[in-house]
Amino acid sequence: MPRRKICVVTGSRAEYGLLYWLLKEIEADPGMELQLIATGSHLAPEYGLTYRKIEQDGFYINEKLEILLASDSSTGMAKSLGLGIIGFADAIERLQPELLVLLGDRYEILAAAQAALLARLPIAHISGGESTEGAVDEAIRHSITKMSHLHFVANACYRQRVIQLGEEPCRVFNFGDPALDNLKRLPLLSRDKLEQQIDFQLGPLNFLVTYHPVTLEEKDIEKDVGELLAALDHYPEARIIITAPNADMGGKTITRLLKQYALKHKEKVGFFISLGQLNYLSLMQHCQVIIGNSSSGIVEAPALKKATVNIGSRQQGRLKASSIIDCLEDRKDIIAAIDRALSEEFQNKLAKVESLYGDCNASKQIKEKLKDIDLKNIVRKKFYDLDNCLNYRE
């Protein structure tokens, strides 16, 4: 019996970390053939050429699609999207997969979805139904949902939202977030081993900082980053580990400012372009507070019983555990949030925090559904109307 050809796309280090165990599951299944496309920041020197990490992990990359332009302006991103559609159209024609797996909401994933849609290639989308009101990712995510034929969501609320978008309930599966699989299946590093691995000494108080562009608002990036850094200066005793932002509009400005800050404070601040999932989660485990506007502070940090200071509107709309403190992009508000996160009362409550994103077993369940689902006529979808929708009158 021929193996089912499953093609998976990855365009960034963070997304690859979420897909890792699904890739392993597909690769190990004798009834499936894994095809892998790497694109986006994976192939860019300024983002660490992270495709090498994929290969070091033992995966064969079938296609490397260069689409990332030097500019991180809105015009540059739109042109990269166009290059992506062309590249994915050619790659799909060459590989002839039976099913395309996409995760998330980035523009390179949108390019893959558009190419697959026109090729009548079934799409399985992971992490639909979520909301990030401060980012252009919001519209991209819901657009990919409408182009997809199978949906793997992280929460019952997100399942309902995908159905609300007109997707048939029988196509929408709540298996949890694959990001949490790493917490169950990766042996996180001890503090000593981690310090050796990243060549950085931790202290009694440690912050993990990840700050991405807010792409749906007219922002003064330098001012907003300045407010964050001024807040961090309020804690001279803290050791601070900063990771680089995504390849989004304004990301290069943020990277420049954060690198300058790290160079100015070498004795206590480390800046890393790419840590890798093991080092990143191990750092999260050994830090007292996760600071910034990354989804990892919303999804992974609560599962590790860690406090998150979530800055600004980028993650507005996501389901948030009680370990997450929202604050404005203002130094006083950030300091107040960090102080609250460090308080004895708040720290004592963290042990009772529960994850809202599943039970750390999503990848295996997704793989089984990809293997067993009947693909015949799957690209023909019916719009699922909510009750009484068709009878509605003004």
Looking at the chain, the domain(s) classified CATH 3.40.50.2000 span 4-176+361-391, 189-352
With a pLDDT cut of 70, the percent of the chain lying above it is 96
Q: What integer pLDDT is reported at residue 247 of this predicted model?
A: 74
pLDDT in tens, 118-137: 999 999 999 999 988 767 88
Q: What's the sign of the alpha-carbon dihedral 299, 243, 279, 247?
A: positive
Q: In Å, how far are 125, 213, 325 from 106, measured between CA atoms?
A: 12, 13, 25
pLDDT band per the 50, 70, 90 thresholds, residue 216: low
Q: What integer pLDDT is reported at residue 218 of this predicted model?
A: 66
Does residue 92 carry a pLDDT above 80? yes
Do the Cβ atoms of 228 and 245 come closer than 8 Å? no
Contacts 24+ apart (CB under 8 A), 160-169: 160/129, 161/129, 161/130, 161/131, 162/128, 162/129, 163/384, 163/386, 164/386, 165/129, 166/383, 166/384, 166/385, 167/381, 167/384, 168/381, 168/382, 168/384, 169/384
Rounded CA gap, 311 and 70, in Å? 28
Q: What average pLDDT is seen over the chain?
A: 92
Average pLDDT over residues 194-215: 93
Would you give the distance in Å from CA 303 to the centre of its chain?
A: 16
Average pLDDT over residues 177-198: 94
Tokens 């309930």 locate to 169
Do the Cβ atoms of 7 and 99 come closer than 8 Å? yes
Paired tokens of 130: 């979520």
The sheet with strand 123-126 has its strands ordered as 63-65, 32-39, 4-10, 99-103, 123-126, 150-153, 172-174
List of residues 6+ apart from 391 with CB closer than 8 A: none
pLDDT in tens, 16-28: 989 999 999 999 9
Rounded CA gap, 142 and 148, in Å? 10
Q: What integer pLDDT is reported at residue 394 of this predicted model?
A: 47
Paired tokens of 106: 């980035």
Does residue 71 carry a pLDDT above 80? no
* CATH number corresponding to 4-176+361-391: 3.40.50.2000
Does residue 148 carry a pLDDT above 70? yes
Task: Give the residue with greater pLDDT, 241 vs 219.
Answer: 241
pLDDT in tens, 274-328: 898 999 999 999 999 999 999 999 999 999 999 999 999 888 889 999 999 999 9
Q: Of 104-108, 173-177, 274-278, which has the strongest mean pLDDT?
A: 173-177
Rounded CA gap, 357 and 354, in Å? 9
Rounded CA gap, 71 and 73, in Å? 6
Rounded CA gap, 339 and 381, in Å? 51
Does residue 44 carry a pLDDT above 90? no
Q: What integer pLDDT is reported at residue 390 of this predicted model?
A: 53
pLDDT in tens, 232-291: 999 999 999 999 987 777 788 999 999 999 999 999 999 998 898 999 999 999 999 999
Domain 189-352 fold is Rossmann fold (3.40.50)
User: Widest CA span of the chain, in angstroms?
Assistant: 67
Tokens 């799409």 locate to 123
pLDDT band per the 50, 70, 90 thresholds, residue 81: very high
Return the HEC string of the chain: CCCEEEEEEECCHHHHHHHHHHHHHHHHCCCEEEEEEEEHHHHCHHHCCCHHHHHHCCCCCCEEECCCCCCCCHHHHHHHHHHHHHHHHHHHHHHCCCEEEEECCCHHHHHHHHHHHHCCCCEEEECCCCCCCCCCHHHHHHHHHHHCCEEEECCHHHHHHHHHCCCCHHHEEECCCHHHHHHHHCCCCCHHHHHHHHCCCCCCCEEEEECCCCCCCCCCHHHHHHHHHHHHHCCCCCEEEEECCCCCCCHHHHHHHHHHHHHHCCCCEEEECCCCHHHHHHHHHHCCEEEECCHHHCCHHHHCCCEEEEECCCCCCCCCCCCEEEECCCHHHHHHHHHHHHCHHHHHHHHHCCCCCCCCCHHHHHHHHHHHCCCCCCCCCCCCCCCCHHHCCC
pTM for this prediction: 0.87
Does residue 221 carry a pLDDT above 90? no
Q: What integer pLDDT is reported at residue 14 of this predicted model?
A: 83
Does residue 72 carry a pLDDT above 50? yes
